[in-house]
């Protein structure tokens, strides 16, 4: 089966309100009429509403960068899945390496969020990826497996088909050092194998695996030509109105 490519922009903590609105307007205009690819932008949470308003009747979906697993209550500073749906989100990034490594999220934390997102009807984009030290110690497959199985523990086959996985090697994030087509392709293929082992080949065939880490409009086409790379989760280049639409177009050319 040919999976529909999916390109998402993770704006992280990088825009003001007016920059966010300007950026989404420019991206929207630049990808008008583009078909055959799913697209999303994930602005800072406080601007979800403003960016969502700009995306009315557009093919670009809205995503959040994180959420909490509880439905409501005394969880100061947190946001629930229902709140994200309420402002128009379709996607939520979970277990990004910055949350795992800087904010201390464990696979168990991510797993709880994955279940809450799926139960609410949000599509989680679940991030996995090894650090430079782990790669050097030849632990890439072990780490990715631990994160994949740990973050999706208890997720059924039907639910798994709706999940998006993002392979983001930590050493490639924001460094300008992109994984080679062979390096990324190898991990994506091994993730596909893990999915097949766990959920069967038919489901594994449906799950999209994005690559993330220093994706630009110059390297996107090569990466996206790999059969197990089904899209990209883009950081820095998604903040550039001149680059992000080109990455989207590279997915369908």
Residue among 103, 136, 158, 174 that touches ligand 13P (CB under 6 A): 174
**Site membership for ligand 13P, residue 217 (CB under 6 A):** no
Contact present, 7 and 234 (Cβ < 8 Å): yes
**Site membership for ligand 13P, residue 219 (CB under 6 A):** no
Smallest gap, in angstroms, from Cβ of residue 76 to ligand 13P?
Answer: 26
Quickly tell me which residue has 């983001």 as its tokens: 168
- Residues 85, 111, 212: CA angle, nearest 5 degrees: 75
CB under 6 A: which stretch of 70-78, 182-190, 195-203, 233-241 binds ligand 13P?
A: 233-241
Q: Give me the phi and psi of 194, to 5 degrees please.
A: -65, -40
Which of residues 24 and 179 has its CB atom nearest to ligand 13P in the complex? 179
Smallest gap, in angstroms, from Cβ of residue 96 to ligand 13P?
Answer: 6
How far separated are the first and last CA of the chain, in Å rounded? 18
Q: Give me the phi and psi of 81, to 5 degrees please.
A: -60, -40
Per DSSP, 88 falls in state: T
Quickly tell me which residue has 């994955």 as its tokens: 114
> Which residues are 232's β-sheet partners?
7, 211
For the beta carbon of residue 97, count every other beta carbon within 10 angstroms. Answer: 23
**Site membership for ligand 13P, residue 168 (CB under 6 A):** yes
CB under 6 A: which stretch of 50-58, 102-110, 133-141, 206-214 binds ligand 13P?
A: 206-214
- Per-residue mark of binding to ligand 13P, 86-105 (x: CB under 6 A): ----------x---------
Contact present, 150 and 115 (Cβ < 8 Å): no
Smallest gap, in angstroms, from Cβ of residue 6 to ligand 13P?
Answer: 13
Instruction: Please tell me whether residue 129 adopts helix, strand or coil conformation.
Output: coil
Which of residues 83 and 220 has its CB atom nearest to ligand 13P in the complex? 220
Residue among 234, 247, 248, 250 that touches ligand 13P (CB under 6 A): 234
Write out the binding residues for ligand 13P, residues 23-62 only, by CB under 6 A.
none
Q: Is the dihedral of CA 84, 165, 12, 234 positive or negative?
A: negative
**Site membership for ligand 13P, residue 5 (CB under 6 A):** no
Which of residues 130 and 168 has its CB atom nearest to ligand 13P in the complex? 168
Smallest gap, in angstroms, from Cβ of residue 77 to ligand 13P?
Answer: 21
**Site membership for ligand 13P, residue 122 (CB under 6 A):** no
Active site residue 19: no
Altogether, the residues listed in the chain come to a count of 253
In the chain, where do the E strands start and end?
6-10, 38-42, 60-64, 89-94, 123-128, 164-167, 208-212, 231-234
Active site residue 188: no
Which of residues 235 and 245 has its CB atom nearest to ligand 13P in the complex? 235
Interface with ligand 13P (CB under 6 A): 10, 96, 168, 173-174, 212-215, 233-237
């Amino acid at each position: 089966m040919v999976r529909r490519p999916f390109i998402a922009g993770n704006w992280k903590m990088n825009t003001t309100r007016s920059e966010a609105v300007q950026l989404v307007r420019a991206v929207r205009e630049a990808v008008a009429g583009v078909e055959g690819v799913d697209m999303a932008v994930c602005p800072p949470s406080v601007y979800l509403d403003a960016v969502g308003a700009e995306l009315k009747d557009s093919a670009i979906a809205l995503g959040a960068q994180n959420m909490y697993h509880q439905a409501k209550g005394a969880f100061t500073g947190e946001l629930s899945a229902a709140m994200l749906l309420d402002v128009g989100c379709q996607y939520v990034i979970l277990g990004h390496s910055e949350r795992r490594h800087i904010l201390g999220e464990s696979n168990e934390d991510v797993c709880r969020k994955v279940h809450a997102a799926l139960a609410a009807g949000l599509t989680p984009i679940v991030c996995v990826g090894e650090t430079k030290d782990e790669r050097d110690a030849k632990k890439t497959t072990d780490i990715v497996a631990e994160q994949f199985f740990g973050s999706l523990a208890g997720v059924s086959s039907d639910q798994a088909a709706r999940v998006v996985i993002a392979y983001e090697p930590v050493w490639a994030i924001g460094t300008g050092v992109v994984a080679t087509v062979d390096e990324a392709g190898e991990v994506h293929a091994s993730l596909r194998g893990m999915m097949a082992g766990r959920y069967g080949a038919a489901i594994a065939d449906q799950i999209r695996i994005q690559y993330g880490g220093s994706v630009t409009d110059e390297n996107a086409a090569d990466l996206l030509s790999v059969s197990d790379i089904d899209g990209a989760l883009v950081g820095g280049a998604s903040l550039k109105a001149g680059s992000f639409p080109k990455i989207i177009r590279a997915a369908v050319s």
